[in-house]
């Protein structure tokens, strides 16, 4: 489609400037989207800020989504690159991707090899793939997509428009809200790691609780959300969880959180709203992390984190303090030699 058509389709967003207003002839054909460094003629890309200005000089993109930066706009004009300007280019680029790519979803229908218990209640316009297993008393909403080899244990409830990708497993009594996505090989509601030490060895504590995913939750490939011995494990609305993440039994995760790959939450951790846990961050059991807090990559959170604080390191401390100690750590050989020298001088 022409660049002007792309702009028109994105008109719901707040577009605050466009090359079309001053350079009407700069209206290339746009065939797709690409990252700015890998862009080719005919593609649309984006620039997040002035620090990427040099990329405007080298990109092969035919059109760019720019921030509100006149210098970047002038550089794009000089190279005859079409552009639109918005306050959040990355967000608008995410909307533009949808114009050129639609994720694969099969048509509604039930594959003849699917095994569905007669007590299961299946909503309207659902798609159930080959060899999927849906056990007793399962309730599935409308427009749900269940890919091949998914297994759903008894008494599970799944809301409207949920997507369950191939080979994921939903354990008994789990509750999954509307518009949730479970990626391949994830396990939701499996038994928590509950064992009691005794003189005769470890005794298993049955995990009688449930797991609840509220609306809009997404769970990545090979991630696990465990159910507790009693009560519930709950993931709040619109929380997004990456691949290879472990959510322990009884955890309470708030709304709008983001967890990157290999994050681990031990049992009964309490995570507030809008918390970000970067890759490989770990949270000890019974820890509370306040709203809006951030734990940077590989942080080991062993103490409660106040709302809004950023922590780093192991054990995790305030990020600014961690930055200072990291600089000192790099200077330890130098400091050690200085101390040795002082000790010799004293002798």
Query: pLDDT tens string for the chain (347 positions)?
Result: 999 899 888 876 666 777 887 776 788 999 999 999 999 999 999 998 878 888 999 999 999 999 988 889 889 888 999 999 998 999 999 999 999 999 999 999 999 999 999 999 999 999 999 999 999 999 999 999 999 999 999 999 999 999 999 999 999 999 999 999 999 999 999 999 999 999 999 999 999 999 999 999 999 999 999 999 999 999 999 999 999 999 999 999 999 999 999 999 999 999 999 999 999 999 999 999 999 999 999 999 999 999 999 999 999 999 999 998 888 888 888 888 888 888 888 76
Q: 99 near 9, Cβ under 8 Å?
A: yes
pLDDT of residue 14: 63
- Quick one: pLDDT at residue 188? 98
Contact 169/189 with Cβ under 8 angstroms?
no
Q: Return the closest-CA partner of residue 49 out of 64, 73, 69.
A: 69
204 burial (CB, 10 Å; 0-12 / 13-18 / 19+) is: exposed
What local confidence, expressed as pLDDT, does residue 268 receive?
97
Give yes or no for a contact between 199 and 181, defined as CB atoms under 8 angstroms apart.
no
Give residue 249's pLDDT.
97
Query: How far apart are alpha carbons 334 and 207 in whole angstroms?
Result: 54
| Number of neighbouring beta carbons within 10 Å of residue 187 | 20
- pLDDT at position 227: 98
CB distance 151 to 133 below 8 Å:
yes
What pLDDT sits at residue 15? 67
Q: Can you give the pTM of this predicted structure?
A: 0.90
Q: Which of 165, 186, 188, 3 is nearest to 82 (CA)?
A: 3
**Phi, psi angle pair for 139, to nearest 5°:** -120, 120
pLDDT at 9: 87
Cross-strand partners of 236: none
Is residue 249 annotated as a catalytic residue, yes or no? yes
pLDDT for position 326: 87
Phi, psi at residue 266, to the nearest 5°? -75, 170
Query: Measured between alpha carbons, how far is 70 from 307 in angstroms, rounded to an integer?
Result: 37
Catalytic residue among 23, 111, 131, 249: 249
Return the pLDDT at 96: 94
Omega before 98 cis (within 30°)? no
Q: What is the pLDDT of residue 337?
A: 87
Three-state secondary structure call for residue 149: coil
Residue 9 CA from chain centroid, whole number? 26
């Amino acid at each position: 489609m022409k660049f002007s058509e792309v702009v028109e389709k994105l008109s719901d967003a707040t577009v605050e400037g466009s090359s079309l207003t001053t350079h009407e002839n700069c209206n290339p054909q746009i065939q797709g989207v690409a990252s700015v460094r890998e862009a080719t003629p005919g593609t649309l890309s984006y620039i997040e800020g002035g620090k990427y200005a040099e990329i405007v000089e080298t990109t092969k993109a035919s059109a760019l989504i720019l921030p509100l930066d006149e210098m970047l706009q002038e550089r794009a004009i000089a190279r005859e690159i079409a552009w639109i300007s918005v306050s959040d280019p990355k967000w608008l680029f995410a909307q533009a991707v949808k114009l050129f790519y639609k994720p694969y979803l099969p048509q509604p229908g039930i594959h003849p090899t699917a095994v569905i218990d007669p007590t299961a209640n299946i909503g309207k316009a659902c798609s159930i793939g080959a060899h999927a297993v849906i056990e007793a008393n399962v309730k599935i909403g409308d427009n749900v997509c269940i890919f091949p080899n998914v297994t759903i244990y008894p008494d599970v409830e799944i809301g409207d428009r949920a997507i369950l990708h191939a080979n994921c497993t939903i354990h008994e009594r789990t509750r999954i809200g509307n518009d949730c996505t479970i990626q391949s090989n994830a396990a939701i509601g499996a038994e928590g790691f509950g064992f009691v030490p005794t003189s005769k060895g470890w005794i298993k504590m049955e995990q009688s609780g449930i797991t609840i995913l509220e609306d809009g939750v997404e769970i990545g490939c090979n991630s696990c959300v465990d159910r507790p011995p009693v009560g519930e494990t709950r993931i709040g609305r619109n929380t997004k969880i990456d691949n290879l993440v472990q959510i322990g039994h009884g955890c309470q995760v708030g709304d709008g959180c983001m967890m990157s790959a290999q994050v681990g939450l031990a049992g009964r951790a309490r995570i507030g709203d809008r918390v970000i846990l970067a890759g490989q961050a770990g949270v000890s059991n019974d820890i509370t992390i306040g709203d809006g807090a951030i734990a940077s990559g590989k942080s080991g959170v062993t103490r409660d984190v106040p709302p809004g604080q950023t922590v780093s390191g192991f054990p995790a401390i305030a990020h600014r303090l961690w930055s200072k100690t990291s600089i000192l750590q790099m200077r330890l050989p130098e400091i050690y030699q200085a101390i040795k020298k002082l000790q010799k001088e004293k002798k």
